Structure 1
Amino acid sequence: MASILLIGGHGKIALLAEPLLAAAGHTVDAVIRNSDHAAEVEAAQANPVVADVENMDTATLAELVSGHDVVIWSAGAGGGNPARTYAVDRDAAIRSIDAAQAAGVSRYVMVSYFGAGPGHGVPEDTGFYHYAEAKAAADEHLRSSALDWVILGPSRLTDDSATGHVSVGPSDKSEVPRADVAAVIAAAVDTPALSRMTYEFNGGDIPVAEAVVQATR
């Protein structure tokens, strides 16, 4: 079983993923910025680790990730402030990738979004533009690394109940419950063949574990 460092441990998806990872036998250290969130993280069966990744340099981040088998990036600035969006979603994410390599943590799972990349097509005058630019840069940095990486690209997120199913390939749906994204994260950790791949998905009708395996073929 793996020792996992989940960065962004109090996020909506992270709090849903942590119990799934724990149920699979993994140990999850969940990085949070606010110590007031520790109890919720503990209730989700993860170990809270208070650290401000936005203001940590690569060497300090390497100390944080050292000793883990997998790093999961599920952090985000939350939008609204372009400078902070770049500081967290681009710069801190890139430093965490470099830190994982420096610390010898080979596997890295990045939670991104459907359609992320240099050709994202988001208009510059929209509020989403800075996030799209930040994620494009971080994802490309991960792809160019030597890590055993996985980039997960869910479509529009909802708070609907888990269905346990997602899509493989084109779908007529353009949304997916956060609970199903959490299940995809857990499945990705336990599917070594899903390696150096970007897996974009929507809601669908294929069981999550089966869908993740299909993505490797």
Structure 2
Amino acid sequence: MSRVLVFGGHGRIALLLAPLLVARGDEVTSVIRNPDHVADVEATGATALVADIEQLDVDALAEIIRGHDAVVWSAGAGGGDPKRTYAVDRDAAERSMDAAERAGVERYVLVSWIGSTAEHGIPQDDPFFAYADAKWAADEHLRGSNLAGTILGPGGLTFDEPTGRIQIDPEDRGEVSRADVAAVIVEALQNPATVGRTIRFGNGDADSSLPIAEALAG
């Protein structure tokens, strides 16, 4: 059994992730900002922890993280407001990484996006620029840390049923179901071969995809 802390616990991916982790015997704590979401989170089998990650400094985040075996960052501002996007997707994410180091919790899985590269190609006047810029900064912060990190870069997210299969490094930015992203997080947490890697993926098709565990093993 592992103790897993999930930031962004009321997000659509996190709500699918928690029951998968609980089913394999993990103890899951999901961090949420809105107390009205406690019931939704606890229905997944996770324990809800109400905390505003935008307001917490590294020391406060370290207190939340301490005692866990792994951290999953699946939080995000949801786009729209550039100031809040930077505050959550970049600044709070980076503080959580520093806090994980301070708390002695090495395993860290960051949910990014498939196009997160230095040359992401999003112009500064595009409303999506703040998201792309913030995600790339957070990715780089994790790469520069001493954490045993994995960066997951899913393609466009869908509400499709899970397929249990993904394609690594698809030629286009593809699509992937949120349920399959949740399954990829579970596999990444338990597969040491994913440490230190940036894994970009989509669902692909029957000919180009592999079962998730097999795809991540490479």
TM-score (normalised: structure 2): 0.95
The aligned amino acid for 1:207 is P
Query: Deviation at 1:171?
Result: 4.9
Q: Give the alignment of 1:26-175 within 5 angstroms.
A: 26-171=26-171, 174-175=174-175
Query: Deviation at 1:213?
Result: 1.3
Aligned to 1:208: 212
> Using a 3 Å threshold, how does the CA distance of structure 1 residues 171 and 20 change in structure 2: closer, same or farther?
farther
Distance 1:87 1:173 in 2: 26
Distance 1:81 1:42 in 2: 29
- Partner SS, residue 63 of structure 2: helix
Task: Check conservation: 1:117, 1:137, Cα contact below 8 A.
Answer: no
Whether 2:206 is the aligned partner of 1:189: answer: no
The aligned amino acid for 1:206 is L
Task: Check conservation: 2:114, 2:173, Cα contact below 8 A.
Answer: no
Mark the runs of 5 or more structure 1 residues left unpaired by the alignment: none
Task: Check conservation: 1:7, 1:30, Cα contact below 8 A.
Answer: yes
Distance 1:173 1:67 in 2: 37
- Partner SS, residue 193 of structure 1: helix
> Using a 3 Å threshold, how does the CA distance of structure 1 residues 154 and 23 change in structure 2: closer, same or farther?
same
Task: Check conservation: 1:80, 1:127, Cα contact below 8 A.
Answer: yes
> Using a 3 Å threshold, how does the CA distance of structure 1 residues 32 and 82 change in structure 2: closer, same or farther?
same
Task: Check conservation: 1:156, 1:176, Cα contact below 8 A.
Answer: yes
Query: Deviation at 1:109?
Result: 0.2
Distance 1:111 1:98 in 2: 17
The aligned amino acid for 2:103 is A
Distance 2:193 2:164 in 1: 21
TM-score (normalised: structure 1): 0.96
Query: Deviation at 1:168?
Result: 2.5
Deviation sequence 1:113-161 (CA, Å, 0-9, x none): 0020222111112111000010111110000001000000001111111
The aligned amino acid for 2:68 is H
Query: Deviation at 1:172?
Result: 6.1
Distance 1:91 1:169 in 2: 27
Distance 2:57 2:154 in 1: 29
CA RMSD of aligned residues (A): 1.1
Identity between Structure 1 and Structure 2 (%)? 57
Task: Check conservation: 2:193, 2:216, Cα contact below 8 A.
Answer: no
Query: Deviation at 1:173?
Result: 7.0
Aligned residues: 214
Runs of 4+ in structure 1 over 6 Å off: none
Distance 2:132 2:115 in 1: 9
Task: Check conservation: 2:156, 2:173, Cα contact below 8 A.
Answer: no
Mean CA deviation greater in 132-141 or 168-177: 168-177
Mean CA deviation greater in 200-209 or 26-35: 200-209
Task: Check conservation: 1:149, 1:197, Cα contact below 8 A.
Answer: yes
- Partner SS, residue 201 of structure 1: strand
Task: Check conservation: 2:9, 2:75, Cα contact below 8 A.
Answer: yes
Query: Deviation at 1:110?
Result: 0.1
Query: Deviation at 1:33?
Result: 0.4
The aligned amino acid for 1:29 is T
